[in-house]
Amino acid sequence: MIAKAYAKVNLYLSVLSKRDDGFHDIISLMHNISLYDLLEVEESDETTFSSNINLPWDSSNTLFKTMDIFERITGIRSKLKIRLEKHIPSPSGLGGGSADAAALLWYLCESEKISDIMEMARLIGSDVPFFVEGGCAVVEGVGEKIHKLDPLNLKMDLYIPQVGFSTKKMYELVDEMNLCGKIGDPYELYAGIKTVDRKKISSNLYNTFQVLAEQTHPEITSQAKAYLKDKEFILMTGSGSAFFGFDLHETKGDVHFTARPRLILD
């Protein structure tokens, strides 16, 4: 099997509050985009892993974590030859690791006829349930509440700086700087894009982490806005550091929205 694991952008993201378990409740409008990693998997006598970039095969690797959680939950020990061709930079806020994990988890569950994929997806990472579903959705809680929406039709350009932001550190800074709270509304933003209401888009296009980045990494946010200056709307995705820019009904762009979480090539 060869699967395309598509990246995502957050058109809207508010960090609402810190939970008693240390995690954070969020609300976000997520959408898959056409940038993807290639994941090749085949049955083998022993599990091996290789990649076009230097990645460890341990618990810091979401594919390793996926196989470990799948085995612990199901009791099934799979032996696979895994080859990952990375195109989604990390860390960037584009969800590459979660997309890869979702693609592998989907393969494991399909192969073994396992139905409770979402339970395992939540254990792997907060964005993984979205990537299992794919397309466009408002995501709430710690990523477990997913309200599917019809996909949007936009093209965009990405700006990906050389410096990546640590998600853990960004959440810590959100708490330290008291930035939790809902500003704008993802459903209003979605409606604004669908109806080409620029005022509604402008008042609801929001990312808590961009507010933080503008204070902690002003040089990166300035560079991103300069690079994407020809775009009408610009926003950072996830906890950063990638930015995207789009125009309504734009016909040009490096990437576009896609409704497919993965495409099986073989």
Extended beta strands in 44-166, E state: 48-51, 80-85, 136-141, 145-149, 155-159
SS3 17: strand
Question: What are the catalytic residues?
Answer: 8, 127
Tokens for 179?
């930035």
Rounded Cα distance between 65 and 126, Å, is 13
Tokens for 41?
């998997």
Bridge partners of 243, per DSSP, are: 159, 236
Q: Are 13 and 238 in contact, with CB atoms under 8 Å apart?
A: yes
Annotated domain spans of the chain: 1-266
For residue 240, how many other CB atoms are within 10 A of its CB?
28
> Domain 1-266 belongs to what topology?
Ribosomal Protein S5; domain 2 (3.30.230)
Going residue by residue through the chain (266 aa), what tens digit of pLDDT does each one get?
A: 999 999 999 999 999 999 999 999 999 999 999 999 999 999 999 999 999 999 999 999 999 999 999 999 999 999 999 999 999 998 999 999 999 999 999 999 999 999 989 999 999 999 999 999 999 999 999 999 999 999 999 999 999 999 999 999 999 999 999 999 999 999 999 999 999 999 999 999 999 999 999 999 999 999 999 999 999 999 999 999 999 999 987 667 889 999 888 888 86
